[in-house]
Structure 1
């Protein structure tokens, strides 16, 4: 019987706040590996898991945290995701499937590697792998001031697209424009005003939506106003839904689809990128982060402060727990 213990952010029931306390240490079985965790970022998906919405645990107690950075027994640094229950990333050690990880390049600190892992790879998957953003295209990022939306905007710029960043945080919008985005749109405005601003900045080849809800309804209204592309190219507008932070329901008028060639899909429906492609994209993303080419504000916090940090809002910095 395993009597060793670790400390971690332990959840005792759906809807509760995780507590920093002892937990049985993981023991690797066949095709498994124990990782010593060095950093794990706090994300909306972690809170959703604790609320029973996303990757919800079915037994308790359970350590929270869907991904992070750690070291293997040989000292190699890797980024991991979806630890094996009941273990999570927010602990001193965790349990993962063997070889299902991404190498962390030298020259990148653990907190940075953990902070960029989830939002960075989600942005890459949507903008590059699924969206195929390229020079000559116009990309609208709806929710550009969140962590993943911010990276998505910068990735689209780096791939040569004309990028319109739409969000609520004016400071981040200004930074995105300074970093190469062509225009910024505040989404916290009346429906008709927002629809007019979105229509004026188009036409679009790719729309990446982290918000849904009322902002998405304004996009559909804009597409009805503009119809197809005025250049006559007839290219399809790819609309990729990533998140629903502004609401789980959005009204979609039939004429939005009849007046404009829109393909509406959910991110992930194309399938998963290969582990090799994901590793290459992650390494490139981290190199760009270290070089200051793709920016994300990071706040390291001791894991012992999990309870007072878990529900903290009002910050545009990515919290990263360090055991």
Structure 2
């Protein structure tokens, strides 16, 4: 590993989206000139090649996320980047392509950022910049949810809510890679088509079908062994009514905006398990497990078993609109912002 110091000569300002007050992303995100960052000891200066849009970016803008960074802050928690320079004591290779999670308040919707060099992971060679940027959070969440929490087994049935979205599409691919039969729930004909193409064995359009009846019909009355729920609200209620005996419901998030209350008497009578998943805790509680998971995901990507579903690649100027569209639930797959280029790598 070779190291390099950041040049002491100041460079021109760089572009970054910043939030000065809470509200809807389209209203509060501003593209501004900011000083070119330099790495402190142990940090890496990165050039952002691609930044994936996540639902938490919208929650951060609204002030509804569990972490509230000081203002002004730059959203964007997941990037593929190139190492430009390294601070004193930081290990790495200048020029390497990496997965980086810039720490708030200086997130990844920017041309450059600084990150803790210890958190950098090699970008899989089998994925382009946009795909690599969309690999870390969604697929790590899916892998930990399905394998560490639900202990999914080959031959089981997996039910995925919002199966055409970024988080759901990752769970679909990971479920198929684990040997599960995957049922995807979506909202609309276009999203149903995306879910089918992404590998779902059965797709249920919640706008046109009774989800509970459709799951029972597809499983011969058995129900879903594992439910992956990033939606909450009505989706969670439906899950409790079509989960199998000894089934597991993995609670990933609440994209619906409504946090349901679990009826523990119902869990007792039907003999199912409710599992919470806060993937971010693994970064502090068990970072070795995160790196081991990355190795597994890299292998699966190389085998073609998983590939992030990138529906749009957008310029940096379109980031605020992209975050708003993800917040509104009108997108399929992943929207990825490309600060360093106009097209895929």
| Residue of structure 2 in register with 1:222 after alignment | 242
Give TM-score, length-normalised by structure 2: 0.79
| Residue of structure 1 in register with 2:50 after alignment | 39
Residue 108 of structure 1 is aligned with which of 127, 130, 135? Answer: 127
CA distance in 2, matches of 1:107, 1:182: 25
How far the C-alpha of 1:265 sits from its partner, in A, is 1.7
How do 1:1-323 and structure 2 match up within 5 A?
4=11, 5-15=13-23, 16-54=27-65, 56-73=67-84, 74-81=94-101, 83-177=102-196, 180-188=199-207, 193-200=210-217, 201=219, 202-223=222-243, 229=245, 236-268=246-278, 272=282, 274-288=289-303, 291=304, 294=307, 296-312=309-325, 314-323=330-339
Look up the SS of the partner of 1:125 in the other structure: helix
- In the alignment, structure 1 segments of 5+ residues that lack a partner are 230-235
Across the aligned residues of Structure 1 and Structure 2, the Cα RMSD in angstroms comes to 2.7
> Cα 1:151–1:275, aligned 2, differ >3 Å: closer, same or farther?
closer
How far the C-alpha of 1:33 sits from its partner, in A, is 1.6
Provide, for residues 178-206 of structure 1, a one-character-per-residue CA deviation record: whole Å limited to 9, x for no partner. 5543322222358xx33222333333321
Q: State the aligned residue count.
A: 308
Contact kept, 8 Å, 2:165 with 2:331, in 1: the verdict is no
Contact kept, 8 Å, 1:112 with 1:298, in 2: the verdict is no
Higher mean Cα deviation, 93-102 or 298-307?
298-307
> Cα 1:160–1:54, aligned 2, differ >3 Å: closer, same or farther?
same
Provide, for residues 22-48 of structure 1, a one-character-per-residue CA deviation record: whole Å limited to 9, x for no partner. 012222222222111111011111111
> Cα 1:151–1:317, aligned 2, differ >3 Å: closer, same or farther?
closer
CA distance in 2, matches of 1:125, 1:28: 31
> Cα 1:269–1:154, aligned 2, differ >3 Å: closer, same or farther?
closer
Give TM-score, length-normalised by structure 1: 0.84
- In the alignment, structure 2 segments of 5+ residues that lack a partner are 1-7, 85-93, 340-345
Provide, for residues 65-107 of structure 1, a one-character-per-residue CA deviation record: whole Å limited to 9, x for no partner. 11211111311111011x2343111111111112202101324
> Cα 1:55–1:31, aligned 2, differ >3 Å: closer, same or farther?
farther
Contact kept, 8 Å, 2:215 with 2:224, in 1: the verdict is no
Provide, for residues 199-220 of structure 1, a one-character-per-residue CA deviation record: whole Å limited to 9, x for no partner. 3333332111111111211222
Contact kept, 8 Å, 1:139 with 1:208, in 2: the verdict is yes
